Structure 1
Amino acid sequence: MIHKWLNDRATNILVPILAVFLGILVGAIIMLFIGQNPITGYWALLYGAFGDAYYFGEMLRMMTPLILAGLAVAFAFRTGLFNIGVEGQLIVGWFASVTVGVLIEAPMIIHLPLAILAGALAGALWGFIPGFLKARFYVHEVIVTIMLNYVALYVCNYLIRTYLLVPGERTDRISPTASLQSFFLQNLTDFSRLHYGFFIAIIACIVLWFILWKTTIGFELRAVGYNKHASHYAGMNVNRNIVLSMVISGAFAGVAGAMEGLGTFGYMSILSGFTGTGFDGIAVALLGANTSIGVFLAAGLFGALKIGAPNMQAAAGIPPELVDIVIALIIFFVASSYLIRIVINRLQKEEK
């Protein structure tokens, strides 16, 4: 039994590694097909993410909302729910945190935590809606969360335009007492936009692990995700746990939005479309196998790809859209992981 557990564990680690390798390999073939040198292209990509302190700082800054969005999706997955509404929850979290940062005056020790909490509560509220509808009326959370993304986008745009608009189609800048900006980290990374939110994202990874694996609530949430009928028979409140799962997932997404509003930008613009970060969180969670450490590493990969993409075009003349193709290929191979598992199992049988 221990041997089987070790094999399953090794397979769970190998699947995302092979998915990344295959995605990069197929991306190299595409580069060859369009007449580009894949070695030059990938070298330019690596340099664009790690070759300079500024690029490295930007990569860590890009990781921050991706980690939190990935955790939001992963938490829902672990409890048997599919939260496609992370994008909308991120947007309302961004708006709520910036609103508190702009309108309230208080010392930093109160103002900053309050602004972050506002983002978490806004995301949690946006997660409560599909959770309640799922628990009370059996409405599928995928449909509701998808539609709420659009509601979040247009409601926040309306509120900014009506109450908070300043020249430049955005809100005013948040008060310094609500800012996550770090001059120390900026100086360390050649004046990138890296901020203290990166450490909040790391803490969030620990929080997710602790809630799911070290608390009674986490056990109940996972049990409901595995089999809600058995959980109900065991005396667990299934409906309450469904709502709670979506609320916690939404809170993670709301904090992701707060990191953008309080850290990267310091304001919120009227959005012409989705940010994409919430949807990338789905890919991050899939690649990270819905674990804290996996989400952290997957966010690092996606952050490196996105920050390094412009340098591919500048240094090697390769369209940056190729990075999106590589990301899509990685997601495809992760989604097709059962094929990779079949190959691994067959190789193991042949060795025996």
Structure 2
Amino acid sequence: MAKLPRWADLALVPLISLVLAALVSAIVLVLIGQSPMQALSVMVDGALGSASGWGYTLYYATSFIFTGLGVTIAFHAGLFNIGGEGQAQLGGLGVALACLFLPWPHWTVALVGASLAAALFGAAWAAIPAWLQAKRGSHIVITTIMFNYIAAALLIYILGEILRPVGSMDPASARFPAELGLPHFHEMPILRDFFLKYGPDGAVKLSAQGLPVYSRVPANITFFLSLIAAFGVWVLLWHTRLGYEMRAFGKQEKAARYAGISAFKIIMVAMLLSGALSGLMAINNVMGQAERLLQNSAEGAGFIGIAVALMGRNHPLGVVLAAVLFGFLYQGGAALGLNTSIPIELRTVVQGLVILFTGALDYMVRIMLTWVFSLRQTERAA
């Protein structure tokens, strides 16, 4: 049987998987008495049809890029890190402690300090399952799943008993100082022009002071940090000795051990980097959006990161593109729930179908395409 060309493996297989997921989603909509075309139109308009929609789509995508990169770097070392959710929650705790208890002269300095804290807390939470895997043989999937629940319980206790302001009934920390607020897209030069509000006559809306009015969006400077992180992961995995050792260990552990590659070193380093990347997600929503630590600070992004990495073929560029797609599904699904009678939970169904076809049924699509390319080669030979 012919070998599937690399371009088909990287581009055609995910595209066909997406089409299949869309077709099954359309069937589900028809079965519940809804119009697939109306649903698609509302989702596209809500997520991509306005500057505000794009702002929310990129906000969600930013979180998914970080957690997707975390899964990717562990996967290349032969490890399946399911603990991105807990690592992101502990990263949020690091951000909160850095912003609440350390004096920062400016948001730029605070961003560096909070990023280091987020990465450190996320890495520390990943270090325990990593050590158990490397030294005791505990399965990384089981331990990281368990640590998600431990992280959630720990965060509830810390918020309720330690960080919650006196007299507040909300299980959340105090708000961070106003001067630590990160710049959002609608506040940045050049970018803010894309978020201008327009009146019915097409003219730019003006405030009482005669200044232009902008649509407020949660997308912030962290988006650019996520792109830098994606570039850094690409350099690490494909242009450094450590990255080569990680990929060699992930491909064939026994051969890597025979070549002198330390299993303990690779497992620990890969999981520490994976946890640090997942922890960095908290910069986006804890420091950039909520400006305080909430109970559900990770917002499920740790689990979505698994699907993002699978769909992105565990390549940083693919992760970025897949994260934007899932950002579209998140924001488009919210628009679907607000503007139609279609339940917002349908976006979870669509996400599940995308995961199903890009992950579990990926091999089926690959076999079908390989068969098609084999037939083409046979016809050419004849």
Q: Shared topology, TM-score over 0.5?
A: yes
The answer to whether the Cα contact below 8 Å between 2:88 and 2:298 also exists between their aligned partners in 1 is: no
- The answer to whether the aligner puts 1:129 opposite 2:131 as a matched pair is no
Q: In structure 2, what is the equivalent of residue 175 of structure 1? A: 177
Return closer, same or farther for 1:187/1:102 CA change in 2, 3 Å cut-off.
Answer: farther
| 1:144-293 equivalences in 2 (<5 Å) | 144-166=143-165, 167=168, 168-182=170-184, 183-184=187-188, 188-189=194-195, 190-271=215-296, 275-293=299-317
* Equivalent residue, structure 1, for 2:7: 9
TM-score (norm 1): 0.94
Cα-to-partner distance string for 1:214-254 (whole Å, 9 max, x where unaligned): 11111111111111221111111111111110000000000
8 A Cα contact 1:186 1:194, kept in partner: no
Q: How many pairs does the alignment contain?
A: 348
The C-alpha deviation readout for 1:15-64, integer Å capped at 9, x for no partner, is 11111111111111111122211111100110010112111101111111
- Gapped regions of structure 2 (runs ≥ 5): 196-214, 378-382
Contact 2:94 2:118 (8 Å CA) reproduced? yes
Stretches of structure 1 lacking an aligned partner (at least 5 in a row): none
The separation in 2 between residues aligned to 1:242 and 1:311, in whole angstroms, is 42
Overall identity of the aligned pairs, in %: 35
The letter of the residue matching 1:319 is: P
CA distance in 2, matches of 1:205, 1:139: 29
* Counterpart residue number, 1:57: 55
Q: Is contact 1:211-1:217 (8 Å) kept?
A: yes
Q: Is the 8 A contact 1:161 1:270 kept in 2?
A: no
What is the alpha-carbon distance in structure 2 between the residues aligned to residue 242 and residue 315 of structure 1? 47
| Stretch moving more, 239-248 or 312-321 | 312-321
Query: Is 1:331 aligned to residue 331 of structure 2?
Result: no
Q: CA deviation at 1:121?
A: 0.4
TM-score (norm: length of structure 2): 0.87
**Partners of 2:136 and 2:338 in 1: CA distance:** 53
Paired residue for 1:100, among 98, 101, 119? 98
Structure of higher CA gyration radius:
2
**8 Å Cα contact 2:55-2:219 kept in structure 1:** yes
1-side partners of 2:180 and 2:337: how far apart?
37
RMSD: 1.7
Which position in structure 1 is the counterpart of 2:31? 33
- Stretches of 4+ moved more than 4 A in 1? 185-188
Find the aligned partners of 1:178 and 1:187 in 2 and give their Cα distance.
23
Contact 1:153 1:274 in 2 (8 A): no
Higher helix share: 1
Structure 1 residues 204-223: Cα deviation after superposition (integer angstroms, max 9, x where no partner): 11011011001111111111
